Structure 1
Amino acid sequence: MVLQVHHMELSQSERIVFLCEELSIPYTLIRHKRAPLFAPESLRLPGNPLGKSPFLEDPDEGVALAESGAICEYILGKAGDTTLSKKYGDKGFADYLYWFHYANAGLQPAVVGSMLLSLSALPEGDEGDGAGADFTAADIMSVYTVTTQRYFGPHLKLAAYPNILRWLKDVSERPGYRRAMEKGDPEMELLVGAEAPATTLIQEGGVGSGIWKKKN
């Protein structure tokens, strides 16, 4: 049986869908709608009593796993050798670890501003490169924090961070990202530009407001 990926709309579980698409591995995507701000009851499954998202089931191994960082590491480990991960001895290994785990605090709105400050403190030309010039799972983990997370706050514009915008452009144009977002959040307007939403989903009381939806 293939991996079963439980994804809640507008959430960090987009990381798992993105990773699976980049790896071109078979998986079953099970989508869950927010209710209207928090996780729905449909996510309270065996092995996931708290209803967390993302949630992964690997029937072949009897594995049930939550937490996006843990799930990413599990999938990378199962996939074997891949350019999306780095190991000890590889160039940029320490930077890869740093950004991979930094990004995993992305549920906290304050982390968005903190991450931008950290990126802007990098040497000129390095901002927004995550683990370096090579695209890796650190980029997959990081991109949610400065895109979809902004629907929940804080209200930050990215015009002052041209290299971050360049990085977002590079990531958002990847076929794997486009496929992942179309499968996981087909209604969502992607926040890959400089402008911030006029208001947040927290202020609006959840996804019923429609501020996150594509404009026809």
Structure 2
Amino acid sequence: MIIVHHLNNSRSQRVLWLMEELGLDYEVRRYERMPNMLAPPELRAVHPLGKSPVIEDAETGIVVAETGAIVEYLTALKPDAGLKPEAGTAEARAWTYWLHYAEGSAMTPLLLKLVFSTLPRRAPALVRPILKAVVAKADASFIDPQVRAHVAWWEAELTRRPWFAGDRFTAADIMMSFPVETAAVRAPYGPEAGHVKAFLDHIHARPAYQRALERGGPYAYA
């Protein structure tokens, strides 16, 4: 039995989806974000950083944090599920790349966009106009061009093949779902991102994805 410590509207939705794709038995322990959008302090009892996702293996007592590490741990439990390519192949190298890219390069500009967008409304009224101007400048000169560059990269890759790591669906696509979904909300795709939008349609239609939504509750990015 795997316990998934699940935070609403977070990366942990991918873990629920992966559990469903693997057919593993799991329990969901739900946490709600605080008004400042941070995870509640109860999560620190599970892991010192107090973040989600975190899983606990009830049989071994092992606690795993960080989505990429969780994906590696869970796919190793079901190696015949087909969600990780055979070692030494081009697909396996691509799988590893997208696994790490999703939380590394891809999320950086998207997190910047989120943080900058919240600054004006949290500021005193007197400085709000100044902050709005600063945010607009940062968006136009750095953040938005970075997001567009990443989306163009995804589009180019998905033009060449239907899934990120090759011709078949793998856990790399589960990892990439969050940055792709987040970008769709914070920087809506234009007509030049047709393959990226098709990717979203395909993953959202998967039965395991739908079951994970039922287990996890409302999810703003679906």
- Same fold? TM cut 0.5: yes
CA pair 164-24 structure 1, distance change in 2 beyond 3 A: same
Query: Secondary structure of the equivalent of 1:121?
Result: helix
Residues 44 and 52 of structure 1 are in contact (CA less than 8 Å); yes or no, is this contact kept in structure 2?
yes
User: Who wins on radius of gyration, i.e. which is larger?
Assistant: 2
Determine whether 1:169 maps to 2:206: no
Residue of structure 2 in register with 1:197 after alignment: none
| Alpha-carbon separation, structure 2, partners of 1:33 and 1:42 | 10
Q: How much does 1:90 deviate?
A: 3.7
Give yes or no for the alignment of 1:70 onto 2:69. Answer: yes
Distance in 1 of aligned mates of 2:24 and 2:151: 32
- Once the two structures are TM-superposed, the CA of residue 177 in structure 1 deviates from its matched residue by 0.6
The equivalent of 1:183 in structure 2 is: 215
TM-score between both structures, scaled by the size of structure 1: 0.77
**73-82 or 162-171, which moves further after superposition?**
73-82
Partner-residue secondary structure (3-state), 2:191: coil
1:21 corresponds to which residue? 20
Q: Are the aligned partners of 1:120 and 1:161 in contact in 2 as well (CA < 8 Å)?
A: yes
The one-letter amino acid of 2:218's match is: E
Separation of aligned partners in 2, 1:67 and 1:20: 15
Instruction: Give the counterpart letter for 1:147 in structure 2.
Output: E
Within a 5 Å distance, the mapping from 1:1-216 to structure 2 comes to 2-36=1-35, 37-46=37-46, 48-90=47-89, 92-105=91-104, 107-108=107-108, 109=110, 113-122=148-157, 125-126=159-160, 129-148=163-182, 151=185, 153=186, 155-184=187-216, 186-191=217-222
Instruction: Describe the shift of the 1:25–1:40 C-alpha distance in structure 2 as closer, same or farther (beyond 3 A).
Output: same
What TM-score comes out, normalization by structure 2 length? 0.75
Secondary structure, counterpart of 1:29 in structure 2: strand
Change (3 A) 1:158 1:3: farther
Shift of 1:181: 1.8
Higher RCO (CA 8 Å, separation ≥ 6 residues): 2
SS in structure 2 of the partner of residue 57 of structure 1: strand
Matched residue type, 1:115 = H
Structure 1 unaligned segments of length 5 or more: list them. 192-216
| Counterparts in 2 of 1:43 and 1:8: CA distance versus 1, 3 Å | same
Tell me the C-alpha RMSD between the 2 structures: 2.2
**Any stretches of 5+ residues in structure 2 without a counterpart?**
111-142
**Hey, what's the Cα distance between the residues in 1 that align with 2:220 and 2:51?**
24
